[in-house]
Chain A
Amino acid sequence: MSLAIPPHQLQLNEHGQLKHFLTTENLSTEILTEILDTAESFSSVGQQAVKKVPLLRGKTVVNLFFEASTRTRTTFELAAKRLSADVLNINISASATSKGESLMDMLWNLEAMDSDMFIVRHQDSGAPHFIASQVCPNVAIINAGDGRHAHPTQAMLDMYTIRKHKGDFRNLKVAIIGDITHSRVARSQVHALNGLQVGEVRVIGPKTLIPHDMEHLGAKVFYNMEQGLKDVDVVIMLRLQKERMNSALLPSEHEFYRLYGLTTEKLAFAKPDAIVMHPGPINRGVEIETAVADGPQSVILKQVNYGISVRMAVLSMAMSGQSTAITATSEAINGEHGA
């Protein structure tokens, strides 16, 4: 049954090309590098007089956001528009489901409007995988964040940022700091970093925010910033959701900041030329000091800019892989009919 196919297999067509983009887990170094190279080739589009390339001309891309988001949705929209696609934005609040329409019915309706691609953000882990395997297999599904599972385009723009500033991944030590348990970004980063054969991945946080068996996922666990940041080339801070404070995961913002907040003093434990990243939006004074966020080592704003070309790369690659898959399927069907 198609249901049992893990996301990393489901997202590839028979030629091993992306036809969906659901996760960075188990993606080959080649595909990960191809995404970064393709993004690089799109990086100048924003500087052109006409900021468009015709790769997705005539294609309909639907931004399907079941969870609120401004930045991710906007960069996806911009990426699709720069690829000349027609873009539809649908923000589905809880009200749509309270009308009794099931997720499947809604998706089938959108598919019936000849959509070519869904960019999906959903609060449930595995939702884009469910849509790709069960609901709309002939629509390219791009995961824009699902539950705690994955946020693969965010991870890829982080990889792009790291490569841009640090070059070869193989000698780098990267530390991810904060709420790993609830972070889809962290999971996708760990998978992508390992796929790109990075020297060492570390996660740093209190035990309440580090998920079970994290080492097995491919990251060394540290509970202490001084030890965890030693010799690190890249420091990635995660956003700390305010609601975590009320769920007995942490005693207070103050204690978290004292222990794990990235201050100038703590950043000094890392290599002097270490870069500081954050997927945003940042909580100044909670997980990061303003002086660090705006300081010379910070590349936070550049990440946002890189996000557009990385998403252009993913959208164009998945659309191309999906078209190949559909052509192959229809040829097979026609072949059967012919025989």
Chain B
Amino acid sequence: MKFTPSSPNPQSIKIAGGRVIDPLSQRDEIADIYVVDGFIQRIVPVNDNSANTQDIHTDITINAEGKLVIPGAVDLCARLREPGQEYKGTIHSETQAAAAGGVTHLCCPPDTNPVIDSPAVAALIQERAHQSGYAHVLPIGAMTHDLEGTQLSEMHALQEAGCIGVAQLRNAIKDNRVLLRCLEYAATFDLTVFFQSVDLSLQGDGIVHESFTSTRLGLPGIPRSAETVALARDLLLVEQTGVTAHFGQLSCARSVEQIAAAQQRGLPVTADIAVHQLLFNDEAIDGFNSQYHVNPPFRSEIDRKALIDAIKSGVVTAITSDHQPHEVAAKSAPFAATEAGISSIETFLPMSFGLVRDGILSEQEWVTCIATTPASIIKIDAGKIAENSMANLSIFDPSAQWQLTPDALHSDGKNSPLLGKTISGRTCATIYNGRVVFQLS
């Protein structure tokens, strides 16, 4: 396995014989891609005999036969833990993990320490990411000062410092009037607001989905209404203010119904679902397995199926990793004392590709959910494969079988319920800004 951080001097690369999939141009064909000086210079279908590629000099050839060549994934929610929680992960380690997972662009939520509520923190994160050179990190700013929910943050300054939106995450804004003002202020600058709708009073001391499983295990439950009640309020305030809104990591059938209803009445709202919500339901926590401790919690099988349906029907147009690396101790305690989250960025592509294997999505639709629409949601020029555009690509082998072990994860966080399991599908190489930043040997 080889990592090479992206440097100012890009390489000349030929990606030979892969199945190139680009939803934006509706391309799905076997083709060679020539990358020169950071850009995709030519895309030549293999059966195009008229193409003359003699003039293109390449240093490196990557054989992509039998593999998918797709735009580098754009992940709308991945924790890097730096600054503040470097014992869980660093910008270097987690962007390296992103590269190994085929992710070239990722959004970093503002709950760092200090939180991303000042241009200095936003700049620091981008600078560190740039130095590491494995992936493009796009910070999301805090919507309120220190995420405390009382004082508006300097959203315009954050926007100028490179934040692609603002978020309050799962921190309370007790006063709905403050929330309303936040949305109005964000709308002033056309800043996208990233919601993770939760009513903390309804969540209470809950840690798992309120269900038969929570009753059996004696673990305090989180009712669906903790999400759906807050989501209803948030959608109405979005409608009132006209702010651009994205709803992240939904977990309930009723939530995606609400998003669909809002879209039907013309609200331009988008939504995503964390990849692990498509895999597991609330019964996974049996045996008090803290690797399945996530927030929002895994809900019922009915909810899980509704989330998949929402992706299939296009109500939800993005899948995120919701990557949350943790140190070992964070998961080694009685369930309620453990921290929520999964180190998931390296299994993001293979696990979401499961929807293709199960016949739910086409390859094109899968790429749309992990790269094309996420890029359009955050309004960046990525998530596509086109001549003269920046070369951000992932080469994915859908038939690879590999064992997930702690050593196989590049993330500092070894917390995954998939440890010890065989994973189908694997990222073989990742090209970021025209350089091979990861290649499986």
Residues of A whose CB lies within 8 Å of any CB of B are: 1, 3-7, 10, 25, 102-104, 122, 124-127, 129-130, 133-134, 146-150, 184, 187, 211-214, 216-217
Contact = CB atoms under 8 A, between A and B. Distances in A.
A212 B219 contact: no
A212 B212 contact: yes
10 contacts: A3-B287, A126-B217, A126-B219, A130-B288, A147-B334, A147-B336, A149-B219, A211-B215, A212-B214, A213-B212
A221 to B, nearest CB: 12
Given A6-B287, A10-B287, A217-B215, 12 more contacts: A1-B420, A104-B329, A126-B219, A127-B334, A129-B287, A130-B333, A146-B334, A148-B218, A187-B218, A212-B211, A214-B215, A216-B215
A148 B219 contact: yes
Contacts of B218: 125-126, 146-150, 184, 187
Interface in B312-364: 329, 332-337
A133 to B, nearest CB: 8
A233 B214 CA distance: 29
Contacts of B337: 103, 124
Contacts of B290: 3
A147 B220 CA distance: 10
Contact of B335 (A1, A104, A130, A216): A130
Most buried by B among A1, A6, A103, A125: A125
B217 A125 contact: yes
B419 interface: yes
B288 A129 contact: yes
Contact of B336 (A126, A129, A213): A126
Nearest to A6: B287
Given A7-B287, A125-B288, A213 B335 contact: no
Contact of A6 (B220, B286, B336): B286
A3 B286 contact: no
A213 B287 contact: no
B82 to A, nearest CB: 23
Contact of B333 (A6, A103, A150, A213): A103
B221 interface: yes
A124 B210 contact: no
A130 B335 CA distance: 8
B291 interface: yes
Interface in B195-219: 210-212, 214-219
Nearest to B421: A1
A184 B216 CA distance: 10
Contacts of A149: 217-219
Contacts of A216: 212, 215
A217 B289 contact: no
Interface centre among B210, B287, B420 (most CB of A within 10 A): B287
A126 to B, nearest CB: 4
Contacts of A104: 329, 332-333
Interface residues of B, number: 26
Contacts of A127: 334
Nearest to A66: B334
Nearest to A150: B218
Contacts of A211: 214-215, 221
Contacts of B219: 125-126, 147-149
Given A147-B218, A147-B336, A148-B219, A212 B287 contact: no
Contacts of B287: 3-7, 10, 129, 133
Nearest to B337: A124
A105 to B, nearest CB: 10
A148 B214 CA distance: 10
A176 to B, nearest CB: 14
Contacts of B214: 211-212
Contacts of A25: 216
A125 B285 CA distance: 12
Interface string B146-170: 0000000000000000000000000
Interface string B394-407: 00000000000000
B293 to A, nearest CB: 11
Nearest to A181: B215
Given A211-B215, A212-B221, A217-B215, A124 B334 contact: yes
A125 B221 contact: no
Given A4-B287, A129-B288, A217 B332 contact: no
Given A122-B334, A125-B334, A148 B220 contact: yes
Contacts of A3: 287-291
Given A102-B329, A134-B332, A148-B218, A126 B288 contact: yes
Sorted from nearest, which 10 A-B pairs have the closest CB atoms? A149-B218, A148-B218, A126-B288, A124-B334, A127-B334, A213-B212, A125-B218, A211-B215, A4-B287, A6-B287
Nearest to A187: B218
A122 B90 CA distance: 34
Nearest to B329: A102
Nearest to A2: B287
A104 B330 CA distance: 12
Nearest to B417: A4
A10 to B, nearest CB: 8
A110 to B, nearest CB: 17
Contacts of A124: 333-337
A53 B376 CA distance: 75
B178 to A, nearest CB: 25
B218, B287, B289: most-surrounded residue (chain A CB, <10 A): B218
